Chains A and B, each alone.
Chain A
Amino acid sequence: MTAAVILTASSAAALELPEIHGFAEADAAVKLDSGNTKHDDYNLMEQRIQLKSTAFISGDNYLAEKGGIFNFKGDFTVDEYFGGKTGFELRELNLGLTPLDIVDVKAGRQVLTWGTGDYLFINDLFPKDYVSFFAGRDDEYLKKPSDALRVSVYPSWGNLDAVVMAFAPNTTAAGDRLTFFDPLQGGIAGRESERKLLEPARQADNLEYALRYYRNIGSHELALYYFRGFDKNPTSFKSISERQLFYRRLDVYGWSLRGPVAGGIGNAEFGCARSREDTDGTDRLIENSQLKVLAGYSKDLGNDLKIGVQYQFEKRLDYAAYTAALLPGDLLLDEYRHLVTQRITKQFLNQTLTLSLFNFYSPSDKDGYIRPVASYDWTDQWKVTLGANIPWGDDDYTEFGQMKENKNIYVRVRYSF
């Protein structure tokens, strides 16, 4: 695949087109539960081809001098769930540069991640795709790309990341593929859901900002975070009668610490989300401010066996104001939430067969989500993955309980090149 192709006519700016990699994949998921979605018996069936490439800019020009790199990654998809609908998803198209020795810049569409949680995100307010997560696509698709400018500065006293990005919402269950709790329907809803989700207008004062300062202290990593933007989930109401939900303005600040503890890796993370349009918690239509604390530990037990556990505590702030503002018939949400997760991964056959089990469990919400996965690298090119998504819960309105009609078993076959 190596083809040193000169793309441009001018010799001043040349792009070496190096390698193109990617994969072709087919997947399908059998539904284990009924639910009023588009199809009764399955909730995933698609084929995709992903292509990705990195091109170093060469020649006698500023971009080449500053280590310019173009990154591209895109997925061509055929979604049998929606009648064979074809699509193209641009996941990355960005330019990386090092304009100064201590500054890196990445501009364009890119995937952004930070924070220390495993499937739990406190200070990572970058967009996610929970439909992919619950339907059984690869973990890669949990992260949605952002259209962003990222500037990273590396002075002697630490490292600073500053991101400016356009708002992109999380992709969450909307009733067509996955059922969910729709407060406007008063229960778990599928295709009957008629919510209108109002996204912030694309204008300068709706840009989002994310900052991270981090540094190593010996083998430990300390990070401080600040985010100013919007809730990525439509948790708040603009108008109940108009069935309008919206993405409230949010400030989040927090910290994290990660490093070796007792032969494993320990992590702790804290975040406070301030609900800017309901700072005192008195608006019953807008979700309150919230605190989240996470503690985690993972360890390699040898013989390709790894375990991880996490505990997350969440507190809805201004709870008295919130309860006082509720009207009869309103759903009463809890003040506290406790969540534990556990991950076990064991590999066999020279790490070609991987069995893993990830489990969410909330004793306060009385719900959970079990994710068993088995994957086998048949060859360096062929990989088969078999897994299940088993959300459950006593109530219909909790985070995992609302997903309980979406239990499935999926299979994915991927050919990488």
Chain B
Amino acid sequence: MLKKITGFGLAVLLAGVPLAGAEPTVDEIITKANSVAYYAGDDGLADVTMTITDAQGRERVREFRILRYDVADQGEQKFFVYFHKPADVAKMTYMVWKHPGADDDRWLYLPALDLVKRIAASDKRSSFVGSHFVYEDVSGRNIDDDVHTLEATDDTYYKMKNIPKDPKGLEFAYYFIWIDKTTFLPMKAEYYDERGEMIRTITALETAEVQGHPTVLKSEVKDLQRNGRTLMEFSGVRYDVGLKDDIFAERYLRRAPVQWIR
């Protein structure tokens, strides 16, 4: 759920349940944080700039617009990613149908070839567009993939420990997330390997309330093993813009829906 940090999903539901004095359960914290981080509103869009810095200090920049539509709250979602930069991938488009608990469906449109490619999506831990974020960071790790426990709590955060139920193919053994007690935004995540060494962190550097939804505007992932980092910045975040389920189809993969990408 730390994905929420990066995640563009944000959430709402603050309105829903004022947790009347009592401390919420682990399930409540995790569910709410997931909702806040990834399911804010019924849909959303934002312009994203990723600055990828490698161990030698060289920078690469990715700019894209992302559209999100929630088929069901806390459930299926659909995404479009329209690339603007770098120039060699400008107008490339990426579509995801996210199925929590199963493999996502992913398509890539390469305009130079007019080619719609289907992409195998079994590996959710691979790099997203060459950055230090992985696919799961961006679209959200299924909350049922981990066993969550409340490790500690203070005035500001719930510190959750999360252990994958199936560690196969994962580069980490467990991770902690610090969830803001007021907004339920995940503010920090630390990943550890099986030797207990910290290998990766994600930190929310800037947040704001957008249309009533606590929203991460800036977050950074650090790869502590190879000394790389990626800064992700969101701008023009809007929720409930009226995206429809049926635009997430090959038609708009080939031909970006003008009203949503300008």
Could you tell me if A21 and B87 are in contact, using CB atoms closer than 8 angstroms? yes
Could you tell me if A302 and B87 are in contact, using CB atoms closer than 8 angstroms? no
Supplied contacts A114-B116, A159-B250, A300-B120, 7 more A-B pairs, CB within 8 Å: A22-B87, A152-B251, A258-B118, A302-B126, A350-B54, A380-B87, A416-B86
Interface-facing stretch out of A181-189, A260-268, A393-401: A260-268
Give the contacts of B27-64 with A (CB-CB under 8 A).
52, 54, 58, 60-61
- A interface majority secondary structure: strand
A69 at the interface (CB under 8 A from B): yes
Shortest Cβ distance from B115 into chain A, in angstroms? 5
Give the contacts of A63-98 with B (CB-CB under 8 A).
67, 69, 96
A336 at the interface (CB under 8 A from B): no
Residues from chain B with a CB closer than 8 A to the CB of A352 are 60, 130
B164 at the interface (CB under 8 A from A): no
Could you tell me if A416 and B88 are in contact, using CB atoms closer than 8 angstroms? yes
Residues from chain A with a CB closer than 8 A to the CB of B258 are 56, 67, 69
Residues from chain B with a CB closer than 8 A to the CB of A380 are 60-61, 85-88
CA distance A264 to B103 in the complex (A): 9
Could you tell me if B126 and A379 are in contact, using CB atoms closer than 8 angstroms? no
Residues from chain B with a CB closer than 8 A to the CB of A219 are 97, 105
Could you tell me if A21 and B103 are in contact, using CB atoms closer than 8 angstroms? no
Could you tell me if A264 and B105 are in contact, using CB atoms closer than 8 angstroms? no
Contact count A vs B, C-beta below 8 Å: 108
Shortest Cβ distance from B158 into chain A, in angstroms? 31
Shortest Cβ distance from B52 into chain A, in angstroms? 7
Could you tell me if A96 and B112 are in contact, using CB atoms closer than 8 angstroms? no
Give the contacts of B225-250 with A (CB-CB under 8 A).
228, 249-250
Give the size of the chain B interface in residues (CB under 8 angstroms).
Answer: 40
A262-304 toward B: CB 8 Å interface, digit per residue (1/0)? 0111010000000000000000000000000000001111111
Q: Can you report 30 residue pairs joining A to B where beta carbons are below 8 Å apart? A: A21-B90, A23-B87, A56-B262, A67-B258, A69-B258, A111-B113, A111-B114, A112-B114, A113-B115, A140-B113, A142-B113, A216-B249, A258-B118, A265-B119, A301-B123, A302-B125, A303-B126, A304-B126, A350-B52, A350-B60, A350-B127, A350-B131, A350-B132, A351-B129, A352-B60, A380-B86, A380-B88, A381-B87, A414-B88, A416-B87
A337 at the interface (CB under 8 A from B): no
